């Protein structure tokens, strides 16, 4: 099994809002992204989404309940379709 250090992977880039694929399994990609400020609402209705906050805080607004996540926490949103 290969181990991946998220600290090391995040140190490789500085750009915000440009996801980097760091692994793939069972046809799914694991991506890292640095975020700052707001991002326009959009939808991936046929895909599950997984959010894990490595540092800081993230507020995610879904159609319906609002979601919050803090460092070392995660959220999952199931696909609608």
How far is the CA of 17 from the CAs of 35, 36, 64, in angstroms? 6, 8, 24
**pLDDT number for residue 39:** 79
DSSP state at residue 71: T
Query: Does 2 lie in the same domain as 35?
Result: yes
Could you tell me the end-to-end alpha-carbon distance of the chain, in angstroms, rounded to an integer? Answer: 34
**pLDDT number for residue 4:** 92
Query: Does 72 lie in the same domain as 50?
Result: yes
Instruction: Count the domains in the chain.
Output: 2
51 token code pair: 């959010």
Average pLDDT, the chain: 80
**Residues 31-68: pLDDT tens digits?**
999 999 887 776 767 777 778 888 888 877 766 666 56
Q: How far apart are CA 69 and CA 18, in angstroms?
A: 20
Query: Does 49 lie in the same domain as 18?
Result: no
Better-scored residue on pLDDT, 5 or 46: 5
Range with top average pLDDT, 11-20, 22-31, 49-58: 11-20
Residue ranges making up the domain that contains 31:
1-39
**pLDDT number for residue 53:** 86
């Amino acid at each position: 099994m290969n181990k991946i250090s998220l600290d090391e992977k995040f140190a490789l880039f500085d750009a915000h809002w440009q996801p980097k694929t760091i692994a793939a399994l069972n046809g799914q990609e694991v991506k890292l992204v640095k975020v700052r400020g707001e991002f326009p609402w959009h939808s991936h209705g046929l895909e599950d989404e997984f959010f894990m906050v490595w540092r800081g805080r993230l507020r995610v607004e879904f159609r319906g309940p609002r979601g919050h996540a803090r460092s070392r926490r995660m959220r999952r949103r199931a696909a609608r379709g």
